[in-house]
Structure 1
Amino acid sequence: MRLDKLTTAFQQALADGQSAAVARDNPYVEPAHVLAAMLAQPDGPKSLLDRAGANTAGLKVAMDGLVAGLPQVQGGGQVSGSRDLVQVLQQAEKEAGKRGDQFVASEMFLVALADSKTDIGGVVRGHGPTRKALEAAIDAVRGGATVDSAEAEGQREALKKYTLDLTERARKGKLDPVIGRDDEIRRTIQVLQQAEKEAGKRGDQFVASEMFLVALADSKTD
């Protein structure tokens, strides 16, 4: 697999996983290193896993435990990808191809892990995210888009920071209901209209906040 065909976020997770393997004197970079690195990323796939119903806290503990139990070789120096990691990466590339992606994103690594027959695949599935649930979460997050640039993941996370996912808020019951609030909405409009009138009397071009407060006070005495 060509590393330049991975998204920047995925490349960073692999680099962080490699650094963790070197720091712990592990001879190979394992899938557990990479997934642990992804879970530690501030804008990583944790939110996607949450959407898929995963127990991300438990999954992180499990990955840390797997990494802690890996064999160590003092003075090993260079590390390489394990057979399991190579297999999962190859499967992730295939999954990306099925979706028409030009770059392999982190979520394809998660799908490959959830479908893997390796030991770590069983651990991942044991903490909730099935392939079906992950695919549904990916479809919801992508909204039909494909990964056509190395920065696609970062752009998606940046967009999420400055927009509201109304579907997700509705699913969690966090949207304020509009139906049944006709009187409240009508009164708010009346207050704004009265504030505009007060501003007009004073020759103000804009409705100042004090005019709104005056109108609001008058409405409460009606």
Structure 2
Amino acid sequence: MAFRMDKLTVKGQEAVQAAHSLAEQAGHRQLAPLHLLKGLLSEPDGIPRAILEKIGVNLRQLESQIDGELQRLPSSSGSNMEIGPSRELMQVLEAAQKQADSMQDQFVSTEHLLLAVTKVDDAAKRLLEINGIQEADLLAAMQAVRGGHSVTDQNPEDKYQALEKYGKDLVDLARKGKIDPVI
């Protein structure tokens, strides 16, 4: 099965583009799952970050480990260097498509890509495992973040966590003593 890039959501395309730019800057000839993982985490308010935070992952530590692994990859220099996807990255993309299909989503979103990284044996998967990130935990956090929404268009991430994004948790603020008492 060949992966179709037009089946990615806008944020998914941005993550792949960020991964490509990262590989280009580092002089890597192949785009690996590590680049994709770094690209997925590059969006400060992105869904992958929210999912990983929900399961208690130390994101700074994970990003530092990703950077360390990326520095180990072979690099080359040249003005007209072609960067192609590695076999492992293609497997990740295909696994993400299968995940989206199994969830009856019409597009592959960033959370499908994150989940797919856990399915392909690569340095990125090993880093996730080292940090205690399991597929089942990701799935549970993914369902909580998505709130029952399915991916039916290319910009579903805007619909997730709408209350957290646009509302205030008054109970939490009251517990922290950050609101005036109500009389």
Give the TM-score, by structure 2 length: 0.86
**Equivalence for 2:97:** 93
1:33 partner amino acid: H
Q: How far apart in 2 are the matches of 1:12 and 1:62?
A: 22
Alignment match of 2:113 (pick from 109, 120, 127):
109
Q: How far apart in 2 are the matches of 1:52 and 1:96?
A: 21
* Contact 1:116–1:122 under 8 Å retained in 2: no
Gaps of 5+ in 1: 178-183, 189-222
Could you report, residue by residue, the CA deviation over 1:3-36 in whole angstroms, capped at 9, with x for unpaired residues? 1110111100101111111111110011111111
Task: Decide which moves more: 121-130 or 155-164.
Answer: 155-164
**Equivalence for 1:6:** 8
Does residue 61 (structure 1) correspond to residue 64 (structure 2)? The answer is yes
Q: How far apart in 2 are the matches of 1:157 and 1:29?
A: 31
Could you report, residue by residue, the CA deviation over 1:93-137 in whole angstroms, capped at 9, with x for unpaired residues? 101111110011111111111233223211111112211111111
Q: How far apart in 1 are the matches of 2:162 and 2:23?
A: 30
**Equivalence for 1:74:** 77
CA radius of gyration, larger in: 1
**1:130–1:159 distance in 2 versus 1, CA, 3 Å:** same
**1:151–1:159 distance in 2 versus 1, CA, 3 Å:** farther
2:62 partner amino acid: L
Residues 112-127 of structure 1 correspond to what in structure 2 (within 5 A)?
Answer: 112-127=116-131
**RMSD of the alignment, in Å?**
2.1
**Equivalence for 1:34:** 36
Task: Decide which moves more: 10-19 or 37-46.
Answer: 37-46
RCO (CA 8 Å, sep 6+): is it higher in 1 or 2? 2
**1:15–1:69 distance in 2 versus 1, CA, 3 Å:** same
Q: How far apart in 2 are the matches of 1:158 and 1:4?
A: 26
Gaps of 5+ in 2: 176-180
Deviation for aligned residue 1:149:
0.8
* Contact 2:12–2:110 under 8 Å retained in 1: yes
Q: How far apart in 2 are the matches of 1:42 and 1:157?
A: 15
Aligned residues: 174
Could you report, residue by residue, the CA deviation over 1:164-216 in whole angstroms, capped at 9, with x for unpaired residues? 4x6xx98xxx3647xxxxxx86xx2xxxxxxxxxxxxxxxxxxxxxxxxxxxx
Q: State the secondary structure of the residue aligned to 2:160.
A: helix
* Contact 2:118–2:134 under 8 Å retained in 1: yes
